Amino acid sequence: MTIKEVTCCAPVNIAVIKYWGKRNKELILPTNSSLSVTLDQDDLRSTTTARLIESAGADQLWLNGSQVEITPDSRLARCLAELRRLRAQVEASATDASEKDELPESRRALVIVSENNFPTAAGLASSASGFAALTFTVAQLFELPMPAEQLSCIARQGSGSACRSLLGGFVAWDMGKAINGEDSGARMVAPQAHWPDLEAVICVVSDAKKGTSSTGGMERTVQTSPLLQHRISSVVPARMAEMESAILSKDFDKFSELTIADSNQFHAVCLDTNPPIFYLNDVSRAIISVIEELNRSSRLAGKGTVAAYTFDAGPNAVIYAPRSEMATIVSTLLHYFPLAGSFDDPKRYLQKKSSNLSLPAGFNMNVTPIWPQGSVHRLICTSVGDGPRVLSTEVGKGLITLEGSPRSMLNGHK
């Protein structure tokens, strides 16, 4: 019996058809299907190291540098129990007599250390990438012989949208029908390489107010919004089909139309909740106005849609656009929402441009005033990414020192 260790990372995903509402809270089964774009792990990721120690005992977990207790009824405990159950199945069918007397892996204790390379304060959903990384890492450690689609049903029980981070590219989460949730998981609609022209910029918006949690919020919406049922039964199914075909045909106009409509409808059902839930603030609304005005003036000039915006359960905007439009989008955002610090432009959008705005003719500059510096405090430029990656299988090379304590790998690997 030896110490085993695996380190993996998993990506963030941002939905373009939104998940909002559970039909089963324990298994996290959604009231509607959803669809997301996996973002590049080179930019945003959760990294997890899981180590199997040589004895049984309580599992230990460190999250972003702090030790976290794994309470018995927690979602985390549920994911780990499910992974152990699958490992025990593997062990039961194993015929290798040499391991017979050893403590089986499914009964050995785990030490898990996980961290995000983006600040939680950034307001980006870290639970999706976090539970995806944890599920994927432990599955690697246990050498579970199952595809990512099946693992996604485990990650889903940690955090619903985590299931979509088990795959790269464009990912549907089919709501499924089975009572045990076995058909409610991720499915790749198109791989990362399918639409290389599509990129994303995240506007991190300052917000003093602590928003409503997703879990509590969606439960309240399910219980009180008269409009949600109509969204679930009559709007989303058609939108899912249209979105899949827009992605397969790389039709950005349609992709944008659906993405924008679904983001706004998600926030509409939040507002239709009692008490109402607000995630957008005045800066979010101003970003919407700027993007809508870019699209309006571009179409007026006989050109296509410039950008699609979408907002999750917070004030941050995620803007998807073809690479050719990013110089215009980023320079326009920087004009109306000057950063407090500098914009480092990792994708060199502004390299070939003068610092002047290059806007569509007919763009109404008065669409919003110029906001106080720092109202948007960061722009993160990224692209479509792949699924979880194995970074290391060597003991001591990940987030756990040889001695067994947590170690940060922030800036340690790209």
Choice between 291 and 333, CB closer to its own copies: 291
For residue 120, what are its two tokens? 């939680």
Phi, psi of 39 (to 5 degrees): -95, 160
Q: How far is CA 377 from the centre of its chain?
A: 20
Contacts of 191 (CB under 8 A, 6+ apart): 168, 169, 170
Q: CA-CA distance, 408 to 414, in Å (whole number)? A: 14
Q: Is residue 231 involved in binding its own copies (CB under 8 A)?
A: yes
Choice between 145 and 216, CB closer to its own copies: 216
Report in angstroms how near the CB of residue 268 gets to its own copies at its nearest.
Answer: 4
For residue 133, what are its two tokens? 């990384």
Q: Is residue 32 involved in binding its own copies (CB under 8 A)?
A: no
Phi, psi of 252 (to 5 degrees): -70, -35
The answer to whether the CB of 204 falls within 8 A of the CB of 378 is: yes
The answer to whether the CB of 83 falls within 8 A of the CB of 19 is: no
Q: Is residue 164 involved in binding its own copies (CB under 8 A)?
A: no
User: Contact region for its own copies (CB under 8 A) — 14-22, 45-53, 126-134, 280-288?
Assistant: 280-288
DSSP lists the bridge partners of residue 9 as 47, 389
Choice between 91 and 272, CB closer to its own copies: 272
Q: Is the peptide bond before 145 cis (omega within 30 degrees of 0)?
A: no
Report in angstroms how near the CB of residue 357 gets to its own copies at its nearest.
Answer: 21
Judging by DSSP bridges, how do beta strands 4-11 and 186-190 pair with one another? unpaired
Q: Which of 98, 101, 275, 352 binds its own copies (CB under 8 A)?
A: 275
User: Contact region for its own copies (CB under 8 A) — 46-54, 143-151, 155-163, 262-270?
Assistant: 262-270
Instruction: For helices 252-271 and 214-224, give the axis angle rounded to 10 degrees.
Output: 80
Q: CA-CA distance, 225 to 230, in Å (whole number)? A: 10
Q: Is residue 323 involved in binding its own copies (CB under 8 A)?
A: no
Q: Is residue 242 involved in binding its own copies (CB under 8 A)?
A: no
Q: Which of 69, 71, 369, 403 binds its own copies (CB under 8 A)?
A: 369
Q: Is residue 276 involved in binding its own copies (CB under 8 A)?
A: yes
Report in angstroms how near the CB of residue 269 gets to its own copies at its nearest.
Answer: 7
Q: Which of 267, 319, 326, 378 binds its own copies (CB under 8 A)?
A: 267
SS3 track for 293-320:
HHHHHHHHCCCCCCCEEEECCCCCEEEE
Q: Is residue 341 involved in binding its own copies (CB under 8 A)?
A: no
User: Contact region for its own copies (CB under 8 A) — 46-54, 226-234, 345-353, 378-386?
Assistant: 226-234
User: Contact region for its own copies (CB under 8 A) — 54-62, 115-123, 158-166, 254-262?
Assistant: 254-262
Please state, as a whole number, how many other Cβ atoms lie within 10 Å of the Cβ of residue 60.
Answer: 19
The answer to whether the CB of 197 falls within 8 A of the CB of 323 is: yes
Q: Is residue 299 involved in binding its own copies (CB under 8 A)?
A: no
Q: Which of 23, 296, 335, 389 binds its own copies (CB under 8 A)?
A: 296
Choice between 55 and 274, CB closer to its own copies: 274
Report in angstroms how near the CB of residue 19 gets to its own copies at its nearest.
Answer: 17
User: Contact region for its own copies (CB under 8 A) — 19-27, 196-204, 257-265, 371-379?
Assistant: 257-265
Q: Is residue 218 involved in binding its own copies (CB under 8 A)?
A: no
Instruction: For helices 75-93 and 126-141, give the axis angle rounded to 10 degrees.
Output: 20
The answer to whether the CB of 196 falls within 8 A of the CB of 322 is: no
Number of residues that bind its own copies (CB under 8 A): 31
Q: CA-CA distance, 177 to 18, in Å (whole number)? A: 18
Q: Which of 150, 281, 392, 408 binds its own copies (CB under 8 A)?
A: 281
Positions in the binding site for its own copies (CB under 8 A) = 208-209, 226-227, 230-231, 234-235, 257, 260-261, 264-265, 267-269, 271-276, 278, 281-282, 285, 288, 292, 296, 368-369
